[in-house]
Amino acid sequence: MKSCLIVDDSKVIRMVAKKILHELGFNTEEAEDGQVAYDLCKKNLPDAVLLDWNMPVMSGIDFLRELRKLPGGDGPVVVFCTTENDIEHIQEAILAGANEYIMKPFDSEILQAKFTQVGLL
Amino acid sequence: MLRPDDFDYLAKLLKERSGLVITPDKAYLLESRLTPVARQRNLKSIEEVVAKMRGRDESLARDVTEAMTTNESFFFRDTKPFDQFRDTVLPQVMASRAAKKSIRIWSAACSSGQEAYSLAMLLKENAARLAGWHVEIIGTDISVEMLEKAKAGLYSQFEVQRGLPIQFLVKYFKKKDESWQIDSSLRGMVQFREWNLLHELRGLGSFDIVFCRNVLIYFDQPTKSRVLENISRQMPPDGFLFLGGAETVLGISDRFKPVPNQRGIYCLSAGAAPAAATAPVGAGR
């Protein structure tokens, strides 16, 4: 079973994503900001990360840059999931090493389509 | 609840005009899709819509047909056919057209254009291989409204997130208010034309590659055969036809046969009629 780390400061979003990902056959872990996510990744790298952009303590983009520097940090497939929906943010995310990008609001269909695109399903 | 005679009237009209088969178990589709048409025309119910159509209201009959035949579409739908197009079919067609350096591709029943534009993006990605080639992509549909959307190339945030890789969104789209518009260079690669698959197709000319996916599923057996026969006449002997995952030619038409090891792709059977001559641009309706 593949694992996905859900990183979002909204408990509701984490809950919705968790439900969809369980239905898609993933084990999930949760983090409420980039720093918590980074600490979890240092211990154990997940197969995938569903990542919000704007969070307290450490943002999604800063987390991604740090993740990619970790040994084996290029492994996890990172899918941004954020309300930032302009080209500049998307380009910045790709440059930092994001594999896909979901613009909120999202639903199970979009999440499934994106995870399929990046070979997670 | 629709009266049986109104249901029969609508089912007959839709079959004649578009080939669409509506069985009584799909009556709910009439309710859900025609209620907005009724509202738009200040009619109180679908019964009133039918009554007006019985009075030979051509524009209403057209709106009803459009509303019923509009189907969802998304970029790179099913993924695999596009990989097969890029990796298998396109190289084969290029090899056999090396002297002519010209390829015509048809997205039949193209709806709002996502399939045609997906092909255009793949061709752009392979621009180096295609340098010096003339490639035409034609999208046809029965719905004027869908064709207008396709020509505008304007899609919602939801539409660009189903199947379109994010790198392609960044590369080939521009944000326009809350929507995303496909690049003008890609829009320039595709021609959209109004055409009914049940009508004479000769005016469209000959196509080396035809995508007619998830269309036949809406037709009954004789209509499927007729459409496949019509399409076969628009293809050269070495052309390729892509059908949807749930569609086949087996038991429906002997004009096509499956391409070995390429699920969903068909070529003409030996002895199928040669393609019609390419019509001048602008022919047909």
Distance from the Cα of B211 to chain A's closest Cα (Å) equals 22
Cα–Cα dist B186/B156, whole Å: 18
**Which of A90, A102, A114 has the CB atom closest to B170's CB atom?**
A90
- The CB density around residue B24, as the number of other CB atoms within 10 Å, is 10
**B186 close to B120: Cβ distance less than 8 angstroms:** yes
Which of B137-158 are b and which e, b meaning 16 or more Cβ less than 10 Å from the residue's Cβ? bbbbbbbeebbebbeebbbebe
Class of domain A2-115: alpha beta
**Which of A86, A100, A106 has the CB atom closest to B166's CB atom?**
A100
Q: Which residues contact B99 (CB under 8 A, 6 or more apart)?
A: none
Which residue shows structure tokens 């594999």? A99
**Which of A86, A90, A113 has the CB atom closest to B162's CB atom?**
A113
Distance from the Cα of A40 to chain B's closest Cα (Å) equals 27
Per-position pLDDT tens, chain B of length 285: 789 999 999 999 999 998 899 998 888 889 888 988 998 899 999 999 999 999 989 999 989 998 898 777 889 998 999 999 999 999 999 999 999 999 999 999 999 999 999 999 999 999 999 999 999 999 999 999 999 999 999 999 999 998 899 999 999 999 999 899 999 999 999 999 999 999 999 999 999 999 999 999 889 999 999 999 999 999 999 999 999 988 999 999 999 999 999 999 999 997 665 555 444 444 443
**Which of A91, A110, A114 has the CB atom closest to B170's CB atom?**
A91
Q: Do A117 and B174 touch (CB under 8 A)?
A: no
Domain ranges of chain A: 2-115
User: Can you give the pLDDT at residue B280?
Assistant: 43
Distance from the Cα of A121 to chain B's closest Cα (Å) equals 13
Within chain B, how many helices (H) and strands (E) appear? 11, 10
Cα–Cα dist B281/B204, whole Å: 8
Of the residues B72, B83, B161, B168, the best mutation for testing chain A's interface (the one with the most A CB atoms within 10 Å of its CB) is: B161
Q: Work out the burial of residue B98: count CB atoms within 10 Å of its CB; fewer than 13 is exposed, 13-18 middle, 19 or more buried.
A: exposed
Distance from the Cα of A70 to chain B's closest Cα (Å) equals 25
User: Can you give the pLDDT at residue B273?
Assistant: 54
Residue numbers in B near A87 (CB within 8 A):
170, 174-175
Cα–Cα dist B195/B18, whole Å: 10
pLDDT tens track for A6-50? 999 999 999 999 999 999 999 999 999 999 999 999 999 999 999
Residue numbers in B near A85 (CB within 8 A):
157, 175
Q: Do A85 and B157 touch (CB under 8 A)?
A: yes
Distance from the Cα of A79 to chain B's closest Cα (Å) equals 10
Q: Which domains does chain B have, with CATH numbers?
A: 4-69 (1.10.155.10), 80-268 (3.40.50.150)
Instruction: Establish if B162 touches chain A: CB-CB under 8 angstroms.
Output: yes
User: Can you give the pLDDT at residue B272?
Assistant: 66
State the complex-level ipTM: 0.91
Instruction: Establish if B174 touches chain A: CB-CB under 8 angstroms.
Output: yes
